[in-house]
Amino acid sequence: MYGSIAAIGAGLAVLGAGLGIGRIGGSAMDAIARQPEASGKITTTMIIAAALIEGVALFGVVVGMLGGAK
Amino acid sequence: MVIKSTVKSITLAFMFLLCLTPLWANETHGESSENHEKKEFNVNEMIMHHIKDAHEWHLWGPDHGGTSIYLPIILIDGGLKTFSSSHFYHGEHKSAVDHKTHEEVSYVAGVGPATGYAMYHEKIYKLENGGLSFEDGHVHGAVKPFDMSITKNVVSLFVGAILILLIMGSVARFYKKNGAVAPKGIAKFLEPIVVMVRDNIAKENIDHHKYHKFVPYLLTIFFFIFINNLLGMIPFFPGGANLTGNITVTMVLAIFTLLITVFSGNKNYWKHIFATPGVPVALLPIMIPIEVVGILTKPFALMIRLFANMSAGHIIILALISIIFINQNAAWGALSVPMALFISVLELLVAFLQAFLFALLSALFIGAAVEEAHH
């Protein structure tokens, strides 16, 4: 039973992170389309922001793993 | 044209090899589930066995009785004790009843020089009255001797370190001999990466006059993580250990970043923590704890990110391959192998991306610590 509840939690974490990273990617594409010459800088900033969100999502995955491994 | 077709054929060969790799990784489990048909294939157990550290390096054959490299065990328990881990893996199988769940738990007691010790889930315990007692799935009351064994992850760490030394040594020798000329051989491959770490990671995020001091650290951490991530993707002997997916290893890496950030922090950095400009004095009792916790959460996030990303990658690949063994039908390979191949290729990207991110975020934190006041 532990495993299934943990899986729902991990799924919710993935949902949030997916929405967040999707937004970042979309906005970065908009920005690059407007200013193609700044694409390098935009990409780096995008990766940093995506990494920060992903970090939070991975907390969810780790908690899911701890629950699932029981 | 010649180069293009060569690259194409190399890529194809590589893809083909990647296709085969899952077969290597899981051959053993196929056999063992055939051997005792009754025992159900336990995905969770198999995956955990693969991503966790071990005292042996399993090469091929069934789980028990296959071919393994037995790694040395070093215990500090009233003096130094060293012996081969085969004394555990070929030891005496014992079982006990869990006091709480009343399930039967089996563990191995050592023989020969390992007499008096027992191993349960790769952890070594001292036997008490000739046995171990369990409570709620954990060993209860037994003393754990200080375990300094050279485990699978440690061997993998050595392999990675030697590889980095060889590669970097040869590149350094090339530049020492030829000076700053157009690079050749392996230097040709590494120069763009080194330049990328210097320009895109260090220079962009750390003050222009101070970044020089931190480039060696960033390069070390980048190549250490990158090479070990790639080694983890090789499913057979010198690779395959989940080193960067081991939380202890990532913790040590994150602590390095923490120490460098704390010790290179200037007056401006500490002022922003203990007397944040523009914040009313009455708020400081709340702000200071938050800022102090902030120093620790940044490396903590670094630790979790690398650990979770690499472990998750290994778990996904193993889980996809497990589809075949759950359904006990080779035809499922048509679904699971291409999917595992796809994730494997994605993991190659992740291997690079995580090394890049670790170095980038380290540079960002160091950059914030050495920044001069500008307002």
B223 pLDDT tier (thresholds 50, 70, 90) = very high
From B177's Cα to the closest Cα of chain A, the distance in A is: 34
Cβ–Cβ contact B301 with A under 8 A: yes
**Residue B37 resides in a domain:** no
Question: Between B19 and B180, where is the model more confident?
Answer: B180
pTM: 0.82
pLDDT in tens, A35-62: 999 988 898 888 888 887 887 787 777 7
Q: Give the lowest-confidence range in B66-75, B135-144, B263-272, B365-374.
A: B135-144
For B310-327, how does the pLDDT look when each residue is reduced to its tens digit (9 = 90+)? 988 898 888 888 888 888
Range of the domain at B90: 72-147
B204–A contact, CB cutoff 8 A: yes
Q: How far away is chain A from the Cα of B358, in angstroms, using its nearest Cα?
A: 10
- Statement to judge: residues B230 and B246 lie in one domain: yes
Q: Do residues A13 and A61 make contact, with C-beta atoms less than 8 angstroms apart?
A: yes
Residue B67 lies in a domain: no
Residue, of B62 and B285, whose pLDDT is higher: B285
Please judge whether B304 and A62 are an interchain contact, meaning their C-beta atoms are less than 8 angstroms apart.
yes
Contact B142, B130 (CB under 8 A): no
Same domain, B170 and B244: yes
Decide if A52 touches B, using CB distance below 8 A: yes
Clarify whether residues B142 and B156 are in a common domain.
no
Confidence of residue B36 (pLDDT cuts 50, 70, 90): very low
Cβ-based contacts under 8 A for chains A and B = 39
Give the distance from residue B155's alpha carbon to the nearest chain A alpha carbon, in angstroms.
26
Which pLDDT band, with edges at 50, 70 and 90, does B136 fall under? confident
Which among B248, B244, B242, B247 is positioned nearest to B315, based on CA atoms?
B242
Would you tell me which residues 42-81 of chain B have a C-beta closer than 8 angstroms to some C-beta of chain A?
44, 48
Residues of A in contact with B361 (CB under 8 A): 48, 51
Whether B91 and B158 share a structural domain? no
Nearest chain B residue to A63 by CA distance is: B308
Q: Is residue B164 part of a domain?
A: yes
The CATH class, in words, for A2-68 is: mainly alpha
On whether both B134 and B189 belong to a single domain, the answer is no
- Nearest CA among B245, B208, B180 for reference residue A61: B245
Crossing angle, helix B215-233 and helix B247-264, to 10 degrees?
170
B223 burial via Cβ count (<10 Å: 0-12, 13-18, 19+): buried
Total domains in chain B come to 2
Q: What is the pLDDT of residue B250?
A: 95
User: Do B128 and B80 lie in a common domain?
Assistant: yes
Of B95, B124, B147, the domain-final residue:
B147
Contact A55 B364 (CB under 8 A): no
User: Are both B93 and B159 inside the same structural domain?
Assistant: no
Q: Would you call A59 and B312 a contact, using CB atoms and an 8 Å cutoff?
A: no
Where is average pLDDT lowest: A51-60, B263-272, B339-348, B354-363? Answer: A51-60
A38 Cβ under 8 Å from any chain B Cβ: no
Domain boundary (B88, B117, B147) is at B147
Contact B305 A55 (CB under 8 A): yes
CB contacts, 8 Å: A68 with chain B: 44
| B330 and B225 in a common domain | yes
Mean model confidence pLDDT for chain A: 82
Please judge whether B305 and A62 are an interchain contact, meaning their C-beta atoms are less than 8 angstroms apart.
no
Q: Do B173 and B111 fall within a single domain?
A: no
Rounded to the nearest angstrom, the minimum Cα separation between A7 and chain B is 13
Q: Are residues B85 and B168 in the same domain?
A: no
Q: Of B110-114, B168-172, B309-313, give the lowest mean pLDDT range.
A: B110-114
Q: Where are the domains of chain A?
A: 2-68
Torsion sign, CA atoms B213, B307, B349, A50: negative
> Do B127 and B248 reside in the same domain of the chain?
no
- The pLDDT assigned to B365 comes to 92
Are residue B296 and residue B323 in the same domain, yes or no? yes
Structure confidence at residue B10 (pLDDT): 62
Q: Of B132, B154, B153, B151, nearest to B143 (Cα)?
A: B132
ipTM (interface predicted TM):
0.71
In a domain, B62, yes or no: no
Residue B33 clears pLDDT 50, i.e. is over it: no
